[in-house]
Chain A
Amino acid sequence: MTVLYITQREAVISKAYEAFEITLKQADGSWKKSTIPVQTVNQIVLFGNPRLTGDALMYALELGITVHYLSSFGKYLGSTLPSCSRNGQLRLAQYQCYQDADRCLHLVKTIVAAKITNQYTVLYRRGYRSISLKRYKSELQKQTNLEQVRGIEGTAAREYFACWPTLLGDEWGFRGRYRRPPTDPVNALLSFAYGLLRVQVTAAVHLAGLDPYIGYLHAVTRGQPALVLDLMEEFRPLVADNLVLTVLKNRELKRQDFCDSLGAYQLTEGARKTFLEAFEKKIQDEFQHSVFGYRCTYRRAIELQARLLARHLQEGVPYQPLVLR
């Protein structure tokens, strides 16, 4: 389970027999070559626009490697997927559930409840007890339509982020979640972390053979991979939020690691590497899985959740989101 991240703009990735060769531009303008044991890689994540030759791309697909493209800001742009699972039966089950309002509502409530529990846990572990978040959970069960559930999710999220300035202290100037564009360093970091998480969830959804565009909590509108966003919800607090809070608390990133361009903040090149390393460490963190009982990494847990959702859709096994205490 190795992930290859390429963050250098001037990189050229080509195939050299069974390996990949990466040509990097050095500070003095010369080019340096190095080989990568690509046989042991499962995912390639490209930032900005490094060049991947046709040969290399074809070979990656042959080996079953997924290639993900992100902008240099960390925004998810798309993926090239090996032809693994195209499970027609599963997709039909997914559409059937979408047509069934009651099943839909039940599933969405489970997902939102898990997200709120996980948000509560994030705050609780850092010594902050937000009673109102717990209240939203019981209120959730009384709701009778999707719109109301989405409303509660939004209100809970606002309350949750309202607790963040106390956790972070004044120096970061965090005043709430702003996405387009992220207007302060913390928001920039959150957006980046969510982008990286989305890569993992997208890969898991495709691996399980689900249709990324038919979701339940998120509206099915043009260009929105609703199911990916649905599955992401329970992991947002567990992976991304926890990571951002830890990185800032441990002072792994400082104010000068961010640069401001036209009101939008982003990470500088060196800091991005630091954050990627921290993200990889986090996603390969092992914990005791609450449903299966064995130790697994977050990356594996994401895949398990996608498969659990598939089981739920096809066989009616109750969907249990990942909740940690």
Chain B
Amino acid sequence: MTTLFYLIIYDLPDTKAGNKRRNRLHKLLSGYGKWTQYSVFECFLTATQFTKLQVQIEKLIKPQEDSVRIYVLDAGAVRRTLTYGSDKPRPDKVLII
């Protein structure tokens, strides 16, 4: 199964309810990918995994107040990615702890 690279960035208002949603969104995204910077997640997902995530995001956020942007990148775009001061995005094939 092919995986695509999904760059997910979000901006949620600094209200009580907003903070709560942001927290929940952070926890949701932690299950799918790597937290690289404040409000930025990098995920390597298959189509099925992404659809699952999409449904959960849509259930959680309020489009009138919140902004979530998802960039879908293919292998070529990932290869051409430049990074300064941190590692290039790379899917984890194995996690050894």
Residues of A that sit less than 8 Å from B by CB: 1-8, 11, 16-20, 22, 24, 35-41, 273, 276-277, 280, 284
Q: Mark the stretch among B9-17, B22-30, B72-80 that contacts chain A.
A: B22-30
Chain A residues with Cβ under 8 A from B96's Cβ?
5, 7, 273, 276-277, 280
Does A5 contact B95, Cβ atoms closer than 8 Å? Answer: yes
* Given known A17-B24, A18-B28, contact A37–B97 (CB-CB < 8 A): no
Asked whether any CB of chain A lies closer than 8 Å to the CB of B49, the reply is yes
Chain A residues with Cβ under 8 A from B93's Cβ?
1-3, 280, 284
Known: A18-B27, A36-B95. 18 other contacts (CB 8 A): A3-B93, A3-B95, A4-B97, A8-B97, A17-B28, A18-B31, A20-B31, A24-B97, A35-B30, A37-B30, A37-B33, A37-B92, A38-B31, A39-B32, A39-B45, A40-B43, A40-B91, A284-B94
Residues of B that sit less than 8 Å from A by CB: 1, 24, 27-28, 30-35, 43-45, 49, 52-53, 56, 91-97
Residue of A nearest to B45 (CB): A40
B23 → A minimal CB distance (Å): 10
Cα distance A1–B94 in the bound complex, in angstroms: 8
A99 → B minimal CB distance (Å): 38
Chain A residues with Cβ under 8 A from B56's Cβ?
18
Does B32 contact A2, Cβ atoms closer than 8 Å? Answer: no
* Given known A37-B31, A40-B32, contact A277–B94 (CB-CB < 8 A): yes
Does B27 contact A40, Cβ atoms closer than 8 Å? Answer: no
Does B32 contact A18, Cβ atoms closer than 8 Å? Answer: yes
Cα distance A284–B93 in the bound complex, in angstroms: 9
Cα distance A18–B82 in the bound complex, in angstroms: 30
Cα distance A280–B93 in the bound complex, in angstroms: 8
Chain B residues with Cβ under 8 A from A276's Cβ?
94, 96
A295 → B minimal CB distance (Å): 14
